Amino acid sequence: MSKIQTVTGNVAPESIDISFMHEHLLFGMPGWDLDPAMAFDRQVVMDGVVQELRALKKAGADLLVDLSPIASGRDVNFMVEAATASDMRIVACTGFWSERGMPPHFHPPLKGVDDLEEIFVRELTKGMGTTDVLAGIIKIGTKGEHMTPMEEGLFRAAARASKRTGACITTHISSHLPSPVGVISGREQLKVLIEEEGVEPSRVIIGHCDATRLPDYHLEVAKAGAFVAFDHISDEVGAPYAFANEMRIPWILNLLEHGYERQMIFATDRIMHFLSGGGAQEFTADQLITDFMPMLRKAGVGDDTIKTIMVENPRRALAMPD
């Protein structure tokens, strides 16, 4: 038996439908809450987030994975309240998104690899922060061209926590840097997690693969056995890594032609409310269903294949042993 750990309780993997594997209700750079100029009206933000979750649910989504990890605006009680009000299933994560996402409290020598491993295991088995709400996935990442020594420690800790709990690891690469820079750190991630730490490749999702715009790299990640995440779908303008959805179609067909249907993950990396301020994104997550899916069908991708990518792959990725 296996289970998926959502913020409103464990559910059977076969009970979930269309799932968005990389989104954010709230995201902020560590320290956002210490800025006296930063106004955060919880109820106003909650109303907006619940409205967006309801629209996403209406479009056909059943589950959303919130990949804001520790110190990056993760608010467990906010997620529980939003999930309850919208009837959307939400999976939260433990982890840190990169060295930049780790407050000095978690740096060596105060915290070493073993300490981080214990924190992640605790959040997956006992509860996140001071709550008893369980995380359901581990999010880690690299920010620069190369993995830093501290990020390497973060990756090793995540690998060991994954092996102890069965939780999947999902990563971030430097999608803000010009392609193919993200490829280098993506390869380093595969090497540390799979080759060196021995994580089962099917427990690893390599993030932001579409941002690299390199189909050979997509195949490389798939050949390593990991999930290939196209998680900036519908982010077509504004961000440095934004580009037209049409460009993603041939890369998806390429992976399908090579038989990697069961290793593809789709998401939009939507931030419903950015706590550090700045411009709002010009898309919403539901566009993956309303706009992108018709494009896929038009390109000859069948409904069975879309179901594998949006339903069955998330079920497998999120399943943890009972």
Minimum distance, C-beta of residue 175 to Zn ion, in the bound complex (Å): 9
- Tokens representing 66 are 């919130």
Nearest Cα neighbor of 284 from 267, 264, 299 is: 267
Nearest Cα neighbor of 169 from 208, 136, 209, 131 is: 136
Residue number with CB closer to Zn ion (21 or 113): 21
Residue number with CB closer to Zn ion (151 or 269): 269
Of all residues in the shown chain, the one whose CB is closest to Zn ion is 269
CB 79 within 8 A of CB 121: no
Minimum distance, C-beta of residue 22 to Zn ion, in the bound complex (Å): 5
Residues binding Zn ion (CB under 5 A)? 269
Minimum distance, C-beta of residue 126 to Zn ion, in the bound complex (Å): 25
Residue number with CB closer to Zn ion (26 or 256): 26
What b/e sequence results for 38-51 when a residue is b if at least 16 CB atoms lie within 10 Å of its CB, and e otherwise?
Answer: eeeeeeebbeebbe
**Rounded to an integer, what distance in angstroms lies between the CA atom of residue 284 and that of residue 269?**
9
Give SS3 for 120.
Answer: helix
Q: Would you call the peptide bond into 215 cis, given omega within 30 degrees of 0 as the criterion?
A: no
Residue number with CB closer to Zn ion (7 or 11): 7
Q: In this structure, which amino acid lies at residue 119?
A: I
Residue number with CB closer to Zn ion (23 or 301): 23
Residue number with CB closer to Zn ion (30 or 113): 30
Q: What angle do CA 27, 221, 124 make, to 5 degrees?
A: 45
Minimum distance, C-beta of residue 295 to Zn ion, in the bound complex (Å): 22
Minimum distance, C-beta of residue 272 to Zn ion, in the bound complex (Å): 12
Minimum distance, C-beta of residue 215 to Zn ion, in the bound complex (Å): 22
